[in-house]
Amino acid sequence: MTIKFSSNKINLSSGTFDSFVKKVLSKNDMTKQASSEEASVEETVEDVVKEKVAEEVVEEKVAEEVVAVKVAEEEDKEDKEDKEEVEVKVEEKEEKEEKKASSAQFVKVAKLNSETKAWLKDYWRNLYPEAYVEAMLAGS
């Protein structure tokens, strides 16, 4: 096996690079111990990183849920306000209609001469009270 540093190429005529590394590591016990310690440190670091990533994901999901709840509450408030506005408008409209219904507005539909007026007065007295008949004929 030859290693050329000038061209940055490693020529392995007998075996692979992994087998070369294994041979070097098997000759030095310190290297074996250091590599096993490195592996356990790497595993610990990987576990810590995985835990942090998992915590960040959970925090993001919680934050998204909090935002969704706030948006839903705001929409509920807006819906409630809209409903109240509609109710107020309906009440105002009903009040206007009641005012129209309660106020009597007579419309003159015909010019009555004294003979027709007298005949209607007699006829309506048979059907309605005297005050009502007088109110009906007051405008004519």
SS3 12: coil
CA distance 97 to 89: 12
User: If you average pLDDT over residues 101-125, what whole number do you get?
Assistant: 79
Chain centroid offset of residue 116 CA: 71
Q: How confident is the model at residue 123 (pLDDT cuts 50, 70, 90)?
A: very high
Residues 2-30: tens digit of each pLDDT: 555 554 455 556 667 777 666 666 655 55
Task: Determine the pLDDT at residue 7.
Answer: 46
Residues 35-57: tens digit of each pLDDT: 566 667 777 878 888 888 889 99
